[in-house]
Structure 1
Amino acid sequence: MFTCRNQSCGAEWALSDVDIHNEGQGLLFRCPMCGARNYVTRHKTEEGELTYDQVQELPPNGKR
């Protein structure tokens, strides 16, 4: 489950609800409701499956 980090939005989304891609600043998904950038990291399990974790350290507006 992912949560939009835009303070005024906060919507929750399943992986199947979002499109994870790289816009040149790292992996992210844009909130389907408000369009805010939400950064993620990709991991590969021992079974070869890809999983994603939402990055919590970055400010909600995506500035690094």
Structure 2
Amino acid sequence: MYQPTCTICGIESGYTKDEGAKTVLPSTSKVKLDFRLVSEQNPEEILTLLRKHLDKHGF
């Protein structure tokens, strides 16, 4: 209630369209995130910080 959170709500990657497995690395992946902010946090600043973090790590 008084702490900010970042929750991973879902992850999708790999070969998911048809039955069977593939032995190649997936070219894409997706994640659904949920941020719960507390008072005094600016949503635009949090988004900027997330983008900087992802860019730093090659995403």
Shorter chain as denominator, the TM-score bin is: under 0.3
- Provide TM-score, normalisation by structure 2: 0.21
- Higher relative helix content: 2
Answer 1 or 2: higher relative contact order, Cα 8 Å, separation at least 6. 2
